[in-house]
């Protein structure tokens, strides 16, 4: 009975310590490391003394220089090392995005839609889309060929007029229209790349 009582008390004490550790309570050994009442904390201003007022441009954060001192920093030249001996990273200024399309032929992504892929390329001349060529379109079914023979010329005319992929879908060719717009947009994006 006595052993059972000791085991139960040990289990309870262990549980309390674990719960206390999880909750962030300090143990008696942590409290021994704390300064006793009346002793100054490291870095604290002794009682009876007045800390100098902070000066503009100074910091009171731990590890910051004392009030009244100033810090100067110098920038290292690109590719040089910093005081800690670590190489200073060099970064090139990002190139600004193009505002006009480059001249050339730009292939769009192949986009899978129901009944097959839609893939096209654009020809850019003078910064404008001058031609849209269909490289692949749904053609496994005779109905798909019939729909595309009607829809693709309309989509091309809209793309040339809009000079963008912001075009209307052709009624009855919803899948082909959505794939056409996506492939067209990817080709236009490539034309704008630096």
Instruction: Render 118-149 in DSSP notation, one character per residue.
Output: EEEEEEEETTEEEEEEEEE---SSHHHHHHHH
Residue 11 pLDDT class (50, 70, 90 cuts): confident
- Most confident segment among 7-21, 33-47, 72-86, 115-129: 115-129
Domain presence at residue 39: no
Domain presence at residue 136: yes
Domain presence at residue 128: yes
Domain presence at residue 86: no
| Arithmetic mean of pLDDT over the chain | 77
Q: How far is CA 12 from CA 9, 15, 28, 86, in A?
A: 5, 5, 17, 51
Domain presence at residue 19: no
Distance between CA atoms of residues 64 and 14, nearest Å: 41
What's the pLDDT score for residue 172? 93
Domain presence at residue 165: yes
Residue 173 pLDDT class (50, 70, 90 cuts): very high
Range of the domain at 125: 104-192
**CATH code (residue 156):** 3.90.1010.20
**Can you state the percent helix, strand and coil of the chain, rounding each to 5?**
35, 15, 50
Any idea which of 23-37, 80-94, 128-142, 158-172 has the lowest mean pLDDT? Answer: 23-37
pLDDT digits (tens, 9 = 90+) for 43-99: 555 555 555 555 555 445 555 555 555 545 445 455 555 556 666 666 776 766 767
Higher pLDDT, 174 or 79: 174
- Most confident segment among 2-6, 24-28, 58-62: 2-6
What's the pLDDT score for residue 132? 97
What's 77's DSSP letter? P
Domain presence at residue 178: yes
Q: What does pTM read for this prediction?
A: 0.52
Which residue bears the tokens 């075009």? 167
Distance between CA atoms of residues 80 and 84, nearest Å: 11
Residue 14 pLDDT class (50, 70, 90 cuts): confident
User: How many domains does the chain divide into?
Assistant: 1
Q: Is pLDDT of 162 > 80?
A: yes
147: left (phi over 0), alpha (psi -120 to 50) or beta: alpha
Domain presence at residue 55: no
């Amino acid at each position: 009975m006595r052993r059972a009582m000791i085991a139960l008390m040990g289990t309870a004490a262990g549980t309390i310590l674990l719960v206390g550790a999880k909750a962030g309570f300090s143990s008696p050994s942590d409290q021994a490391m704390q300064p006793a009442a009346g002793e100054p904390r490291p870095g604290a201003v002794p009682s009876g003394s007045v800390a100098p007022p902070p000066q503009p441009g100074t910091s009171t954060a731990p590890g910051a220089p004392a009030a009244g001192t100033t810090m100067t920093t110098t920038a290292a030249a690109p590719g040089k090392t910093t005081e800690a001996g670590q190489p200073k990273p060099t970064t090139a200024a990002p190139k600004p995005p193009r505002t006009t399309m480059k001249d050339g032929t730009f292939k769009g992504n192949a986009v899978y839609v129901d009944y097959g892929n839609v893939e096209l390329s654009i020809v850019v001349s003078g910064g404008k889309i001058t031609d849209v060529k269909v490289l692949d379109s749904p053609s496994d079914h005779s109905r798909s060929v019939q729909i595309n023979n009607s829809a693709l010329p309309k989509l091309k005319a809209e793309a040339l007029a809009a000079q963008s992929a912001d075009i209307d879908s052709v009624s009855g060719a919803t899948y082909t229209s959505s794939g056409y717009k996506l492939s067209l947009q990817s080709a236009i994006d490539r034309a704008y790349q630096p």
